[in-house]
């Protein structure tokens, strides 16, 4: 590289008689720059005046062959300094505002003069010089300005209030000039140098100031002043060998909705967010600084007060939590809600005795894990943001519990809770928390809504919520009444199911709350009522139970008699209320139980996408190419900049079939990956495919080497260092690959869909859209976007399950998860006729991007085929453009598209072979039934009788082979039957001894 | 060769399904107490303990034996996958054999979760990665339980080689169920027909659900001692260990692209040879065998690996009934892993317990007539095979 030269450039360096200024001037001049050496010749504190300092530097420059002129004006007369340059060389290109003095003193002792003088020299001086030069620079379309700030200004420093003020003032000054000068190529930067000079002698010990030579700073100044430098608006700390750039960092902060007062308490409550630097931005200009605010202007607060911030709390989703229960938990719960008071009653034993012939969960148990989840979260201090009240304020007002199917006798659960509603009831507020609980397979098992009344937390003028009285007890004699005495110790038993509030057990505690003795849990009464309804209207079979909704209106004391009055309201609903007999008080009102007409069935078990053991399980699809694999490596190296220093070797990869060479440099700089190259400390020869497998974690480099598939030359030991490849996170790798592909790197972009879309897949997407519309919570739950790229015919579809309520749109070119498959396979998948997992293992479905997100597509399995048929029929009835007439009805069309069968040709060829090879039958000696699937056909190969024969259909056989059309074709191409059997592609029934002899298909195609 | 090692006490808990069992320490203590009572000695006479389990944090062994007494003895926690129990047994035997202690406790337990075995630590090198790698080369990797894929794959390989019928595999499970119906300690007491076994859900061709051992909770224990110790306690003619060996994987497990070899065929073969050589006895001298039937396929392979029948002869062996009462041997009179259950850490000691009972003539309805020499085979992927020969004479 050639030296950075300043020939024909004219610079002013203020305060150049000593220290930093002198060093800058000498350096610039040594590189051909003409320098105005300005120095007033005063002391470090601004006293005195002499021409000696400037003259001396000018002499030095001249002695070295450079050009310089001295100027003795104060920077406050900046125009004179500039004039010197203009007079001498008729131009001004560079201004280095360096002059400065100190008046250090504690603020307590600081005089107005100390303040004023510092301001005048540093700020006003820099202003004056720069102002005088500015117009000339704009006119010339060229200028370089450097301001000298200080760490004291950036960070503050004891005794330098005046100096710090001035120095940071220059930063703001420079930042604005950088913007105003940009168009005219006038670039302005600021340095905060640390160097041993007259100004630091006062703050630093001599041995340090000696080491901090001004020369260690000037290199940066010269660079910033060079015509090749485009840096502007920068702030640098420099000195003692350090060169570093500073920038502003801002927390993501807290954005309050506008439209209502923001109180100091709210600011305090959000302090954690406001000061949390784990999520940050780095605004570089006013626009970026204002960005979040501009976005906030349109928002409108929904209200709230110091207890509840509706904007923050409403819609908040708690992190999912897990729990489990087993038979013992169910039995304990049932005992807690009064089951089994008569231990010989089978209808009660079914809830408490795990070996009872029909041991079943009492469905109201579904509230227990949900409530436990809320308690657990509260215990850990995890409350919803914006809810700032304690348990002492809340009352459980209403409860809704729904089970989607009979509860299993044990389950592992995942709970997802959300603040669903917040109502302002005047004095109090009502907060409704919705908790959705799924089982181990991710199928929803039950759902709870807890309505809590928060005393004294209302009154912000918000929505009061629905006020209609639901489930009012009819004005007629109940259709059924159950009366049951609650045992004195009932609360002691119930609390063991998880609600351990001392109010229900501790007499002293209850007294403090104004109760004569501990009260029964409202949810215990809730359980009693559930039993009563099931007993009266579900023939003691809890499996028909669907849901229960209650309002808790009064406390119940253990020992009282509960009377549940029930009224049928239609076929599937029972309205009820509970009273305490002794006090004739309604304790549960506005209550109803819904029953299912038929017992809901458990959904089919889902298969896990990947088994747990072994790295091979996580085989990513959408096989990256070697170019992509190197991009992955490059990305990894960039993210681990220390690697190069640690490894210190270069690697040359020579791939074959197709051939390419790649250099991975882990020696120089931060490391790099480049295509091509012909040397490296360590050279690796292997096939393109093995390399890709290695990076994908599917092939072990060690194993490739022992198998001689990988040859290592040069520094063999260095190859060990490549073990870092194993550390590459497959997810990250997939991301890089997906990014490349989306950018048009690897795979061609999907063709835009035809306006009308392909009928079958268009309809299938309509079915998905319909399903999403009916399950508005899905998007919130799944939180991913999916891009489907279908082939033959080609189309692209985006299924957004991330934003809003979710949407399905034709077209699109990105998604969190990208799925490539054929139109036909897609239709079969939606119709429930093809298993995505199977398509994937058969490589008919490729998944890119967030591979794990593809699991979320399991919801496709939940689509009711009946509903799907309805949507399709409706579309066709309405003559929707996506469904031209004559495409048939129902799902027949969906599977109607099948690839041509390969079996017929193979059968034909086999028949010929048997005819031409008379010995074949003798050799095998068996009748083989072949059942082909996808598309289906079957044929019998008789290799036992006579010369042998082939006939289509089924018949008596010694051995049966069941395989797909594709597998049959693979055998015909010469692949080994044994391998396909081992892989599970062929099922062998009957006399398996025949199987090894069955090379009859080999080479038929 | 060191001193003779006697098995003077054995005990086990009734095996339970996950969720229905006691805590591990309770199971372990119950098994150990049963073994101590059987030996008629007190815990304080035990000089060191070897405690096996797979799933649990470190020092569960201490937690378990501390309930028996805080005697300050050395306690070792042993983990060797499915052969954990036998590995604990082997360490106890070596301690007595080498004269380090006079009396040692070998204890094993497991509290398992429902469902197939899965890896617990996913943030580090999987110890089975070579196995999984080989398997995925040979037959791919599916969503089925990994262990079923491995042993099922070995079953496929064998089946293709020798043309074995599906029924042959199912017959092993049928025999296991029959044997277990006489074992009050077994998890499954219900006999299943070959048809029922074949009709159960397919886990991984050729294995159906009833051909896979269930996740199980339970514990087993054995008290081992020297001749001097036995004599001092007035124990005459105790069952003793005539030979014992452990092998781990050889080249062939990974180099031959063979699922049979991968799941330990050669380990078992070599281990059996060592035991026969050491004892100076062959398979013909043995009457009763407890072998590692985690899947029917593995019982079938093991017949050949340990020399009960020639290679390729398993189907005939089974058809001839040489694996049950009235045949040449009784294999897994306890019901084996398939029916008695397979709590990983406990299995090796439950096998030992069964064989000691058999040799003492205490096996009640499932007593093998004239049992004088017994053979134990316990195998874990990862891998280790431990075989022990016991004698009563």
Q: Which domains does chain A have, with CATH numbers?
A: 10-246 (3.40.50.720), 250-301 (1.10.287.4290), 321-595 (3.10.129.10), 627-736 (3.30.1050.10), 759-896 (3.30.1050.10), 903-997 (3.30.1050.10)
pLDDT of residue A127: 97
Q: Is the predicted pLDDT of residue A948 greater than 70, yes or no?
A: yes
Query: Nearest CA of chain B to the CA of A327: how many Å?
Result: 9
CB atoms within 10 A of CB B300: 27
Q: Alpha-carbon torsion A976, A979, A985, A990, what sign?
A: positive
Q: What does the mean pLDDT of chain A come to?
A: 84
Return the percent helix, strand and coil in chain B, to nearest 5. 40, 20, 40
pLDDT of residue B204: 95
Strand order across the A573-580 sheet: A321-325, A411-425, A428-438, A444-454, A394-403, A545-552, A585-595, A573-580, A561-568, A480-485
Buried b (16+ CB within 10 A) or exposed e, A54-70: bbbbbebbeeeebebbb
Task: Give the nearest chain B residue to A616 (CA atoms).
Answer: B133
Residue B20 in any domain: the answer is yes
Winning range, highest mean pLDDT, from A42-51, A532-541, A653-662, B43-52: B43-52
B14: domain CATH number is 3.40.47.10
Q: What 8-state DSSP symbol labels residue B56?
A: S
Task: Estimate to the nearest angstrom the gap between the alpha carbon of A135 and the chain centroid.
Answer: 51
**Residue of A611, A613, A992 lying closest to B163 (CB–CB):** A992
Q: Which helix (H) or strand (E) holds A967?
A: helix A965-972
Integer Cα distance of B200 and B210 in angstroms: 7
Task: Give the nearest chain A residue to B134 (CA atoms).
Answer: A616
Q: What is the pLDDT of residues A950-977, one digit of tens each?
A: 998 898 999 999 999 989 999 998 888 9
Integer Cα distance of B171 and A235 in angstroms: 82
Here the tokens at position A291 are: 């960005």
Q: Cβ contacts of residue A254 below 8 Å, gap of 6+?
A: A270, A273, A274
Tell me the C-alpha to C-alpha distance, in Å, between residue B63 and each of A326, B54, B86, B108: 25, 15, 20, 13
Q: Which residues in chain B are contacts of A610 at CB distance < 8 A?
A: 143
Residue B257 in any domain: the answer is yes
Q: Which residues in chain A are contacts of B159 at CB distance < 8 A?
A: 988, 992
Q: What is the pLDDT of residues A716-746, one digit of tens each?
A: 666 667 767 767 777 777 777 777 666 543 3
Q: Which residues in chain B are contacts of A327 at CB distance < 8 A?
A: 19
Task: Give the nearest chain B residue to A325 (CA atoms).
Answer: B19
Please report, to the nearest 10 degrees, the dihedral formed by the alpha carbons of residues A405, A407, A410, A413 taken in order.
70
pLDDT of residue B210: 96
Residue B169 in any domain: the answer is no
Query: Nearest CA of chain B to the CA of A218: how many Å?
Result: 50
Residue keyed to tokens 């008569």: A342
Whether residue A614 and residue B118 make contact (CB cut-off 8 A), yes or no, is no
The domain of B27 spans 6-115+214-391
Tell me the C-alpha to C-alpha distance, in Å, between residue A562 and each of A87, A476, A497, A575, A584: 107, 20, 21, 16, 10
Q: Is the predicted pLDDT of residue A419 greater than 90, yes or no?
A: yes
pLDDT of residue A623: 62
Q: What is the pLDDT of residues A215-254, one digit of tens each?
A: 999 999 999 999 999 999 999 999 989 999 999 999 989 8
Reported as a pLDDT band with limits 50, 70 and 90, residue A810 is confident
- The low-confidence residues of chain B, meaning pLDDT below 50, are none
Integer Cα distance of B41 and B44 in angstroms: 8
Residue B263 in any domain: the answer is yes
Assess contact for A315 and A424: CB atoms under 8 A: no
Mean pLDDT on A38-46: 82
Mutate to test the interface with A, among B116, B156, B157, B162 (most CBs of A within 10 A): B156
Q: What is the pLDDT of residues A850-874, one digit of tens each?
A: 665 665 676 776 677 677 777 767 7
Reported as a pLDDT band with limits 50, 70 and 90, residue A200 is low
pLDDT of residue A935: 86
Here the tokens at position A880 are: 């929707």
pLDDT of residue A827: 79
Task: Estimate to the nearest angstrom the gap between the alpha carbon of A12 and the chain centroid.
Answer: 53
Integer Cα distance of A250 and A748 in angstroms: 40
Mean pLDDT on A867-892: 50
Q: Which residues in chain A are contacts of B253 at CB distance < 8 A?
A: none
B373 by Cβ neighbours in 10 Å (0-12 / 13-18 / 19+) ranks as buried
Q: Is the predicted pLDDT of residue A162 greater than 80, yes or no?
A: yes
pLDDT of residue A876: 63
Assess contact for A781 and A811: CB atoms under 8 A: no
Q: Is the predicted pLDDT of residue A982 greater than 70, yes or no?
A: yes
Query: Nearest CA of chain B to the CA of A818: how many Å?
Result: 22
Mean pLDDT on A183-195: 93
Q: What is the pLDDT of residues B312-342, one digit of tens each?
A: 999 999 999 999 999 999 999 999 999 999 9
Residue keyed to tokens 């198998």: A707
pLDDT of residue A226: 96
Tell me the C-alpha to C-alpha distance, in Å, between residue A75 and each of A79, A104, A176, A449, A609: 8, 20, 21, 74, 74
Which residues of B are known catalytic residues?
Answer: 82
pLDDT of residue B333: 98
Q: Is the predicted pLDDT of residue A754 greater than 60, yes or no?
A: no
**Residue of B129, B143, B259 lying closest to A614 (CB–CB):** B129
Whether residue B159 and residue A993 make contact (CB cut-off 8 A), yes or no, is no
Q: What is the pLDDT of residues B189-236, one digit of tens each?
A: 999 999 999 999 999 999 999 999 999 999 999 999 999 999 999 999
Q: Which of B76, B346, B79 is nearest to B213 (CA)?
A: B346
**Residue of B133, B140, B156 lying closest to A700 (CB–CB):** B133
Q: Is the predicted pLDDT of residue A897 greater than 70, yes or no?
A: no
Residue B244 in any domain: the answer is yes
Whether residue B132 and residue A410 make contact (CB cut-off 8 A), yes or no, is no
pLDDT of residue A861: 66
| Cis check: omega of the bond before B313, within 30 degrees of 0 | no
Assess contact for B337 and B47: CB atoms under 8 A: no
Q: What is the pLDDT of residues A757-792, one digit of tens each?
A: 334 677 788 888 888 888 877 787 777 888 888 887
Question: Which range among A454-458, A483-487, A576-580 shows the weakest confidence by mean pLDDT?
Answer: A454-458
Question: Could you give the residue ranges of the DSSP H alpha helices within A821-925?
Answer: 823-830, 836-841, 865-877, 892-896, 903-916, 919-924
Here the tokens at position A348 are: 């009660």
pLDDT of residue A763: 78
Assess contact for A296 and A255: CB atoms under 8 A: yes
Q: Which of B215, B206, B197, B213 is nearest to B295 (CA)?
A: B213
Respond yes or no on whether ipTM tops 0.95: no
Assess contact for A831 and A839: CB atoms under 8 A: no
Q: What is the pLDDT of residues A278-332, one digit of tens each?
A: 889 999 888 888 878 877 776 677 778 878 888 888 888 888 899 999 999 999 9
Whether residue A611 and residue B149 make contact (CB cut-off 8 A), yes or no, is yes
Whether residue B205 and residue A989 make contact (CB cut-off 8 A), yes or no, is no
Here the tokens at position A149 are: 């700030």
Whether residue B143 and residue A608 make contact (CB cut-off 8 A), yes or no, is yes
pLDDT of residue A500: 85
Q: Is the predicted pLDDT of residue A153 greater than 90, yes or no?
A: yes
How many interchain CB pairs under 8 A, A with B? 96
Predicted structure pTM score: 0.45
SS3 A601: coil
pLDDT of residue A686: 87
Q: Cβ contacts of residue B284 below 8 Å, gap of 6+?
A: none
Residue B239 in any domain: the answer is yes
Residue B206 in any domain: the answer is no
Mean pLDDT on A972-986: 90
pLDDT of residue A682: 82
A901 by Cβ neighbours in 10 Å (0-12 / 13-18 / 19+) ranks as middle
pLDDT of residue A716: 64
B244 by Cβ neighbours in 10 Å (0-12 / 13-18 / 19+) ranks as buried
**Residue of A609, A612, A995 lying closest to B160 (CB–CB):** A995
Residue B282 in any domain: the answer is yes
Q: Work out how many domains chain B is built from and give that number.
A: 1
């Amino acid at each position: 590289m050639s030296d950075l030269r300043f020939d024909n450039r004219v610079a002013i360096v203020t305060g150049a008689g000593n220290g930093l200024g002198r060093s800058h001037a000498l350096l610039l001049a040594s590189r051909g720059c003409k320098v105005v050496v300005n120095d007033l010749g005063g002391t470090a504190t601004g006293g005195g005046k002499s021409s000696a300092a400037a003259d001396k530097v000018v002499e030095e420059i001249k002695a070295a062959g450079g050009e310089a002129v001295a100027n003795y004006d104060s920077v406050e007369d900046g125009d004179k300094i500039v004039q010197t340059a203009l007079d001498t060389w008729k131009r001004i290109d560079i201004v280095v505002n360096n002059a400065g003095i100190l008046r250090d003193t504690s603020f307590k002792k600081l005089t107005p003069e100390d303040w004023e003088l510092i301001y005048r020299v540093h700020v006003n001086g820099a202003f004056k010089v720069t102002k005088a030069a500015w117009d000339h620079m704009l006119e010339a379309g060229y200028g370089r300005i450097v301001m000298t700030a200080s760490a004291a200004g950036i960070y503050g420093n004891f005794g330098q209030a005046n100096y710090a003020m001035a120095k940071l003032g220059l930063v703001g000054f420079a930042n604005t000039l950088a913007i105003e000068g940009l168009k005219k190529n006038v670039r302005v930067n600021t340095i905060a140098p640390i160097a041993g000079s007259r100004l630091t002698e006062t703050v630093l010990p001599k041995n340090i100031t000696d080491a901090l030579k001004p020369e260690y700073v000037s290199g940066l100044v010269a660079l910033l002043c060079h015509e090749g430098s485009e840096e502007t608006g920068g702030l640098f700390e420099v000195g003692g060998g350090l060169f570093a750039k500073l920038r502003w960092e801002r927390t993501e902060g807290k954005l309050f909705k506008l439209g209502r007062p923001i109180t100091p308490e709210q600011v305090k409550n959000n302090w954690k967010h406001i000061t949390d630097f784990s999520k940050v931005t780095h605004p570089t200009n006013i626009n970026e600084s204002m960005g979040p605010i501009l976005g906030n202007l349109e928002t409108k607060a929904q209200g709230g007060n110091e207890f509840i911030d509706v904007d923050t709390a409403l819609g908040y989703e708690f992190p999912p939590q897990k729990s489990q229960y087993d038979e013992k938990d169910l039995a304990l719960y049932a005992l807690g809600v009064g089951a089994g008071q008569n231990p010989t009653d089978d209808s009660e034993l079914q809830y408490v005795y795990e070996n009872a012939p029909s041991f079943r969960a009492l469905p109201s148990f579904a509230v227990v894990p949900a409530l436990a989840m809320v308690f657990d979260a509260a215990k850990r201090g995890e409350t919803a943001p914006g809810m700032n009240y304690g348990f002492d304020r809340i009352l459980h007002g209403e409860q809704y519990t729904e089970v989607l199917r009979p509860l299993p006798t044990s389950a592992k659960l995942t709970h997802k809770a959300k603040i669903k509603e917040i109502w302002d009831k005047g004095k109090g507020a009502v907060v409704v928390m919705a908790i959705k609980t799924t089982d181990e397979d991710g199928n929803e098992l039950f759902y709870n809504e807890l309505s809590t009344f928060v005393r004294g937390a209302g009154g912000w003028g918000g929505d009061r919520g629905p006020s209609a009285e639901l489930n009012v007890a009819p004005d007629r004699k109940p259709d059924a009444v159950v009366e049951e005495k609650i045992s004195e110790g009932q609360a002691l038993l119930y609390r063991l199911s998880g609600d351990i509030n001392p109010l229900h057990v501790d007499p002293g505690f209850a007294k403090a709350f104004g109760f004569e003795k501990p009260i029964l849990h409202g949810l215990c009464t809730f359980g009693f009522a559930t039993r009563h309804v099931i007993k009266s209207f579900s023939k003691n079979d809890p499996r028909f139970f669907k849901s229960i909704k209650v309002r808790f209106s009064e406390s119940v004391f253990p020992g009282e008699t509960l009377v549940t009055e029930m009224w049928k309201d239609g076929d599937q609903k029972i309205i009820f209320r509970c009273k305490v007999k002794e006090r004739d008080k309604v304790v549960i009102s506005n209550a109803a139980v819904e029953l299912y007409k038929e017992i809901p069935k458990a959904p089919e078990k889902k298969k896990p996408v990947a088994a747990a053991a072994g790295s091979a399980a996580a085989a990513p699809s959408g096989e990256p190419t070697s170019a992509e694999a190197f991009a992955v490596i490059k990305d990894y190296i960039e993210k681990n900049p220390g690697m190069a220093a640690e490894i210190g070797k270069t690697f040359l990869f020579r791939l074959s079939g197709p051939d390419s060479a790649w250099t991975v440099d882990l020696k120089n700089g931060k490391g790099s990956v480049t295509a091509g190259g012909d040397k490296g400390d360590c050279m690796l020869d292997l096939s393109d495919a093995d390399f890709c497998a290695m990076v994908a974690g599917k092939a072990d480099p060690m194993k490739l080497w022992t198998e001689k598939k990988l040859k290592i030359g040069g520094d063999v030991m260095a190859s060990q260092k490549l073990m870092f490849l194993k550390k590459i996170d497959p997810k990250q790798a997939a991301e890089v690959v997906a990014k490349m592909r989306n950018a048009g790197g690897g795979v061609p972009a999907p063709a835009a869909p035809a306006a009308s879309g392909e009928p079958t897949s268009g309809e299938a997407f309509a079915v998905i859209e319909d399903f999403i519309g009916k399950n508005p919570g899905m998007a919130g739950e799944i939180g991913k976007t999916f891009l489907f790229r279908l082939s033959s015919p080609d189309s692209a579809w985006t299924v957004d399950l991330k934003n809003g309520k979710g949407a399905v749109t034709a077209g699109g070119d990105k998604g969190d998860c990208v799925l490539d498959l054929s139109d036909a396979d897609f239709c079969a998948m939606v119709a429930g006729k093809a298993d995505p997992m199977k398509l994937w293992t058969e490589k008919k479905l490729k998944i890119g991007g967030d591979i794990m997100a593809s699991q979320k597509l399991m919801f496709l399995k939940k689509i009711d085929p009946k509903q799907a048929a309805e949507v399709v029929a409706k579309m066709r009835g309405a003559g929707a453009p996506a469904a031209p007439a004559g495409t048939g009805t129902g799902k027949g069309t969906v599977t109607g598209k099948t690839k041509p069968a390969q079996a017929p040709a193979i059968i034909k060829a086999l028949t010929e072979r048997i005819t031409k090879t008379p010995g074949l039958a003798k050799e095998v000696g068996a009748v083989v039934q072949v059942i082909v699937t996808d598309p289906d056909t079957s044929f019998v190969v008789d290799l036992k009788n006579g010369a042998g024969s082939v006939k289509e259909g089924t018949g008596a056989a010694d051995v049966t082979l069941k395989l797909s059309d594709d597998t049959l074709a693979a055998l015909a191409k010469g692949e080994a039957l044994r391998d396909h059997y081992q892989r599970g592609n062929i099922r062998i029934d009957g006399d398996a001894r025949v199987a090894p002899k069955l090379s009859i298909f080999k080479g038929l195609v | 060769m060191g001193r003779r090692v006697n098995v003077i006490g054995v005990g086990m808990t009734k095996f339970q399904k996950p969720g229905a069992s006691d805590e591990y320490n309770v199971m372990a203590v119950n098994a150990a107490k049963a073994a101590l009572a059987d030996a008629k000695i007190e815990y304080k006479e035990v000089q060191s303990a070897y405690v096996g389990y797979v799933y649990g944090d470190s020092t569960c062994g201490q937690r378990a034996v501390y309930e028996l007494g805080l005697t300050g003895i050395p306690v070792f926690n042993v983990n060797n996958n499915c052969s954990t129990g036998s590995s604990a047994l082997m360490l106890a035997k070596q301690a007595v054999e080498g004269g380090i202690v006079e009396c040692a406790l070998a204890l094993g337990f497991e509290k398992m979760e429902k469902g197939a075995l899965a890896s617990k630590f996913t943030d580090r090198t999987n110890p089975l990665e070579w196995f999984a790698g080989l398997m995925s080369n040979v037959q791919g990797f599916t969503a089925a339980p990994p262990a079923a894929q491995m042993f099922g794959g070995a079953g496929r390989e064998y089946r293709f080689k020798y043309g074995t019928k599906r029924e042959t595999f199912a017959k092993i499970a049928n025999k296991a169920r029959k044997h277990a119906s006489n074992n009050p300690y077994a998890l499954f007491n219900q006999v299943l027909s070959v048809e029922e076994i074949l009709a159960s859900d397919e886990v991984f061709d050729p294995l159906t659900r009833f051909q896979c051992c269930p996740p199980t909770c339970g514990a087993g224990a054995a008290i081992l001692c020297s001749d001097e110790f036995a004599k001092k306690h007035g124990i005459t003619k105790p069952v003793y260990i005539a030979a014992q060996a452990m092998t781990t994987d050889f080249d062939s497990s990974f180099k031959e692209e063979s699922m049979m070899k991968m799941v330990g065929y050669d380990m078992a073969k070599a281990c059996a040879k060592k035991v026969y050589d050491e004892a100076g006895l062959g398979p013909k001298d043995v009457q009763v065998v407890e072998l590692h039937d985690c899947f029917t396929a593995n019982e079938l392979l093991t017949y050949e690996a340990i020399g009960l029948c020639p290679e390729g002869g398993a189907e005939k062996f089974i058809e001839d009934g040489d694996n049950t009462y009235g045949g040449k041997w009784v294999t897994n009179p306890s019901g084996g892993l398939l029916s008695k259950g397979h709590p990983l850490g406990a299995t090796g000691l439950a096998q030992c317990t069964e064989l000691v009972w058999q040799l003492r003539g205490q096996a009640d309805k499932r007593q093998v007539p004239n049992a004088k020499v017994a053979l134990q085979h316990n195998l874990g992927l990862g891998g280790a095979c431990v075989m022990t020969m016991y004698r009563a004479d």
